[in-house]
Amino acid sequence: MFYTFIFLPLISALFVPLLYKYFNRLVHTGWFVLVVPLTIFIYLLQYIPGVAAGGTYKYTLSWIPSLDMNIVSYVDGLSLLFGLLISGVGALVIVYSIFYMSKIREALHNFYIYLLMFMGAMLGLVFSDHLLVLYGFWELTSVSSFLLISYWYERKSSRQGALKALLITVLGGFGMLAGFIMMIMMADTYSIREMLANLDVLQNHALFIPAMLCVLLGAFTKSAQFPFGIWLPDAMEAPTPVSSYLHSATMVKAGIYLVARMTPIFGGSSVWFWLVAGIGIITLLYGSLTALRQTDLKAMLAYSTISQLGLIMCLLGVGSLAVYFGASDSGTVFGVAGFAALFHLFNHSTFKGSLFMVVGIIDHETGRRDIRYLGGLMQVMPITFTIALVGGLSMAGLPPFNGFLSKEMFFAAVNEVSQAGIFGLSKIGLLFPIIAWVASIFTFVYCMIFIFKTFGGQYRPEKLTRKVHEAPWGMLFSPILLGLLVLFIFFFPNVLGKYILTPALTAMLPMTPMSSYDLKISAWHGLNLELVMTIGVIVVGLLLFKSSKRWVQAMRNYPQGLTLNHWYNKGLSGTERFSTSLTNGYMTGSLRHYLIYTFTFFVIVLISSLLLLYGIRFDFSNDAAISIFDVGLVLGMVIAAGTVLLAGNRIVAIVALGALGYMVAMFFVIFRAPDLALTQMVVETVSTLLFLLCFYHLPKLKKQIERVPFKLTNLIISLAMGLTVTLLALSANGHKLFEPITSFFENSYKLAGAKNIVNAILVDFRGFDTMLEISVLAVAGLGVYILVHQRSKGREQHENE
C-alpha cells in the first residue's frame, strides 16, 4: 500500500496524455492531477500520531535481490516532514496552476507529466533508505526540473536556465554518487540505518573526509549554496507554479534534506561544521546582498531563496555540534539549533510559496515583473497586497508571523555558537552573529522594497501592458491558504513543533534523547540579546529603506564582470571555444585520419601496457599440433581476402567474401564447435544472398583499377597493428592467471536449462550485453526511420509549395 501511494505520481503521469486528449476541452487537466497530491497528503497524515510517539516504519520492495538492490523506504519524522511538504504544497501549486496556465495555449499534458515526475522523484528521494536508490531519485529530480524549467523551450533564456541548472546539479550529483560509493565501501552496506549502527567504522576510516566532501558537493549544488547558487535565478524562467514548487518548497530543499539525513554520520566533525555552517552563513549574506540589486520580482525572490537556504544550512551546521557534545547540556543547546533549522524550513515553504504566487499574479494581471514599472497596486489588488504583506513581513522576521519565531531561534543559535569554544570558534566565532545580523538587515530591506515599491506609491497604469484587476479566486486560494498558515503557526507553533518538528529532530539527532529538550516555541522570551538584535534589524533596516534610492542604485551598478554569473558564462564559453577548436583540429572528414587516430591509440596503449607490466610472455608447450588442414585453410583465407581487395567485379568480390566466411566455419568444425560452425554458415549464406540482391543493381566497377599511392604511414600503422594483435594473442595464451571458466559454461544445462551452450551464453549468462546490443540496433533503426520519414515529409512540403 505504501509504495502504491509513493509511486502514484509516476504512475499517474502515464495517463495524463489521455486525460488531456479527451477531456481538456471540457475541464482543465489539472483537476484530474490534483487528486494525486491530495491523496498522498491525506495518506501521509495517518503516520503523524505514530511518528510523534516515536515510531518508525520500514517498507521493502524487492527489485534486484541478487545485487542486494531493494527499494527500502523508511518513514520517520524527517522523511514525513518532507513528504507532507512535497504533497501538501504540491496540491496548492496545482490548484494555482489550473488558473494560471491556459488550457488553450499551453501544452498542459507536458507540464503535468513533468510536475508529477518531479513530485514522484522527490517522494522517492526523501523516503529512500538505500543509498543508490536515493541517488537514482536524486538525479530524476534534476532531469524533471530541467524539463520544467525549459517548459517554454521556445525562449532562449528558458533553455539556457534549464541547461545551467542541469549542469550544476548533475555535476554535484556525480560527486555525491562518489561519496555514496565510498560510504558503501566503508560500511559494507547500502542502508543509511545500518550505517548509523556502525558509526565507529565510518568515522575512523581514511575515506571518511573524502566521502563527506563529495556528499556535501551534491547537497550544496542542489540547495543553491555559495558559489553554486547561480543556477537558481536563471531557473526563474520557468512558469511561476514551477518556481513556487521547485524553488521554495521542494527541489532546493533536497540538499537541505541530505545534510539533515547525513548529520548523525558526519556531524561532530570540525570539517562538517565549518563547511555546512560557514558556507551557509556566507550564502545568507551573499543572497541578501544580491537580492537588493534586482529589479525583477522573481529574481529578487530567487536570491532571497538562496539567502534563506543559507540560513537553514547554517542552522544545520550549528545543530551538528549536538553530535559532538552528545547528551550533555551543550548538546541539548545546539540540538535546538537543528530544531530551528527544521522550523524555518517549514516556515520558508509557507511564506516563500505564497510570495512566488503573488509575483505570478502580478505578472499575470499587469504583464510586468520589473519593479521600476510597478507601484500603487494595493488600490486595485487589495487581496494580493494583503498576501504579499503577510509573506513579506514573515520573511523579514517580524511578528505576528511565523518567520519571526524561527528568526529569533536563529539569532539564539549563532549567539550560542560564538561561545562554543571548540573548532577555533573562540577566535572567530563572533563573526556568526555579526554576519547573521547584517544579512538580516538586508533581508528586511529587500522585503520592504518588494512590498512597498510594488504595492505602495503612485499607481501608473500607463506603464503596464494590461488593464489591472484583482486575480480570480482560483489564483488567490493557494496563497491565501499559505498566508493563513503563516499566521496560524505564529499563534499555535507548538502544534507543529510537537507532532512534526520534534519527531523530525529525533530522526536528525538520534543520539540525544528528546526528553532533554525544552522545545516549547513562544513569541516572547523576555528582554534578551535576540530581541535587541531584532529591534536593531528593524531600526537600521527602516533607515536604509528610507534612503534606498541613494545606495541601492549604486549596488545595481556593480560591475557585471565581477559577478559569479559572468565567470560561469565566461568559463562555459571558453570551454566551448576550446572544444570546438580541438574538435575541428582532428575532425577532418577523412576516414583515413580517423583510422590512424584509432589504431595509433590502440597500439600505444596496449604495447605500453605489455611492456610496463612485463606481459609479453610466450608459452607454446600446451599448443595443439598444426595439421595440413589448418595450413590449407589459412592459405585459402588469405587468397579469398586478397581476391576481395583486388576483384574488378562486385559479384566476384561478394563470392570471395562468402568463401572467406565459409572457411572460417570450417575452422569451427576442425575445432569441434559444430554449433558455431552452423551459425557461421547460416549468417554467411544470408549475408551473401543479401549482398548479391543489393549489389546486382549497382553500376559495375571500373575495369581499370585506380592505382593507390604508397603511403609509409599506412604501412607502419598496419605492421604495428598486426604486431600488437599478434603479441596480445600470444601473450594472453601464455598467461594463466585464473582457472578457465570452461567447466562453468559446460554446466549450462543445470544452470540455465539449455542444451545449447552457445545460446545459453548469449541469452542467459550475458543477457544484459545482448539486450543492450539489441537496444542499440533498435535505436539506430529508429533513427534511420525518422531521418527517412523527415526527408520524405520535407520533399512533400516542397512539392506542395
CA distance 409 to 321: 16
Handedness of CA 462, 466, 472, 477 (dihedral sign): negative
Average pLDDT for residues 2-24, to the nearest whole number?
90
In the predicted model, is pLDDT for residue 788 greater than 90? no
Q: Where does 456-527 have alpha helices with state H?
A: 473-491, 493-496, 502-508
**647 in the Ramachandran plot: left (φ > 0), alpha (ψ -120 to 50) or beta?**
beta
Better-predicted residue by pLDDT, 67 or 110: 110
Strands (E), 304-414: none
Better-predicted residue by pLDDT, 436 or 104: 436
Q: How many CB atoms lie within 10 A of CB 342?
A: 30
Handedness of CA 787, 791, 792, 796 (dihedral sign): positive
In the predicted model, is pLDDT for residue 633 greater than 60? yes
Those residues whose C-beta lies under 8 Å from the C-beta of residue 599, and which sit 6 or more positions away, are 717, 720, 721
Chain centroid offset of residue 557 CA? 34
Average pLDDT for residues 123-131, to the nearest whole number?
93
Task: Give the pLDDT band of residue 477 (cuts 50, 70, 90).
Answer: very high
CA distances from 348 to 120, 355, 595 (A): 22, 10, 58
Chain centroid offset of residue 190 CA? 20
Contact by Cβ (8 Å): 10, 117: yes
Nearest partner of 158 among 171, 145, 170, 168, judged by Cα = 145
Tens digit of each residue's pLDDT (9 = 90 or more) over 171-226? 999 999 999 999 999 998 889 999 988 888 888 899 999 999 999 999 999 999 99
Contact by Cβ (8 Å): 350, 404: no
Q: How many CB atoms lie within 10 A of CB 38?
A: 16
In the predicted model, is pLDDT for residue 527 greater than 80? yes
Q: Indicate the DSSP class of residue 750.
A: H
Chain centroid offset of residue 60 CA? 24
pLDDT at residue 515, rounded to an integer: 61
Please tell me the total number of residues recorded for the chain in this structure: 801
In the predicted model, is pLDDT for residue 701 greater than 70? no
Domain boundaries along the sequence of the chain: 2-205+224-520+529-546, 559-586, 587-747, 748-801
CA distance 176 to 655: 57
In the predicted model, is pLDDT for residue 444 greater than 80? yes
Burial class (CB in 10 A: 0-12, 13-18, 19+), 119: buried
Those residues whose C-beta lies under 8 Å from the C-beta of residue 389, and which sit 6 or more positions away, are 451, 455
CA distance 81 to 87: 10
**469 in the Ramachandran plot: left (φ > 0), alpha (ψ -120 to 50) or beta?**
beta
Better-predicted residue by pLDDT, 491 or 551: 491
Handedness of CA 230, 231, 234, 239 (dihedral sign): negative
In the predicted model, is pLDDT for residue 789 greater than 80? no
In the predicted model, is pLDDT for residue 104 greater than 90? no
Q: Where does 616-762 have alpha helices with state H?
A: 628-646, 650-670, 674-695, 712-734, 742-746, 748-752, 757-760
In the predicted model, is pLDDT for residue 128 greater than 80? yes
Those residues whose C-beta lies under 8 Å from the C-beta of residue 443, and which sit 6 or more positions away, are 288, 291, 304, 307, 395, 396, 397
- Please, what's the b/e burial string for 278-303 (b: 16 or more CB within 10 A of its CB; e: otherwise)? bbbbbbbbbbbbbbbbbbbbbbbbbb
Average pLDDT for residues 506-530, to the nearest whole number?
79
pLDDT at residue 112, rounded to an integer: 93
CA distances from 313 to 244, 304, 335 (A): 20, 14, 14
Q: How many CB atoms lie within 10 A of CB 358?
A: 34
Average pLDDT for residues 426-437, to the nearest whole number?
91
pLDDT at residue 485, rounded to an integer: 95
For residue 701, give the 3-state DSSP assignment: coil
Contact by Cβ (8 Å): 701, 648: yes
In the predicted model, is pLDDT for residue 295 greater than 80? yes
In the predicted model, is pLDDT for residue 689 greater than 80? yes
In the predicted model, is pLDDT for residue 560 greater than 80? no
Better-predicted residue by pLDDT, 123 or 679: 123
Which CATH number applies to 587-747? Answer: 1.20.120
Contact by Cβ (8 Å): 522, 409: no
- Over the chain, what is the mean pLDDT? 87
CA distances from 73 to 80, 131, 510, 582 (A): 11, 11, 18, 47
C-alpha cell at 741: 571458466
Q: How many CB atoms lie within 10 A of CB 396?
A: 24
CA distance 375 to 381: 11
Task: Give the pLDDT band of residue 793 (cuts 50, 70, 90).
Answer: low
pLDDT at residue 585, rounded to an integer: 86
Average pLDDT for residues 284-311, to the nearest whole number?
93
Q: Is the pTM of this model over 0.95?
A: no
Contact by Cβ (8 Å): 243, 236: yes
CA distance 748 to 769: 18
In the predicted model, is pLDDT for residue 763 greater than 90? no
**371 in the Ramachandran plot: left (φ > 0), alpha (ψ -120 to 50) or beta?**
alpha
CA distance 691 to 606: 35
Q: Where does 223-328 have alpha helices with state H?
A: 231-234, 240-246, 251-266, 270-273, 279-292, 297-319, 321-325
Task: Give the pLDDT band of residue 700 (cuts 50, 70, 90).
Answer: low
The terminus-to-terminus CA distance of the chain in angstroms comes to: 58
Contact by Cβ (8 Å): 249, 349: yes
Amino acid at the residue 446 = Y
Chain centroid offset of residue 379 CA? 43
C-alpha cell at 325: 557534545
- Please, what's the b/e burial string for 632-666 (b: 16 or more CB within 10 A of its CB; e: otherwise)? ebeeebeebeebbeebeebeebbbbbbbbbbbbbb
Report residue 194: phi and psi, to 5°. Answer: -70, -30
CA distance 609 to 600: 14
CA distance 219 to 750: 48
Q: How many CB atoms lie within 10 A of CB 217?
A: 21
Contact by Cβ (8 Å): 193, 129: yes
Hey, which residues does 69 pair with through a beta bridge? 64
Task: Give the pLDDT band of residue 454 (cuts 50, 70, 90).
Answer: very high
Report residue 558: phi and psi, to 5°. Answer: -55, 135
pLDDT at residue 565, rounded to an integer: 82
Average pLDDT for residues 24-38, to the nearest whole number?
91
Chain centroid offset of residue 435 CA? 31
In the predicted model, is pLDDT for residue 653 greater than 80? yes
Q: Which of 82-86, 366-370, 518-522, 775-779 is the least confident region?
A: 518-522
Report residue 439: phi and psi, to 5°. Answer: -65, -35
pLDDT at residue 702, rounded to an integer: 59
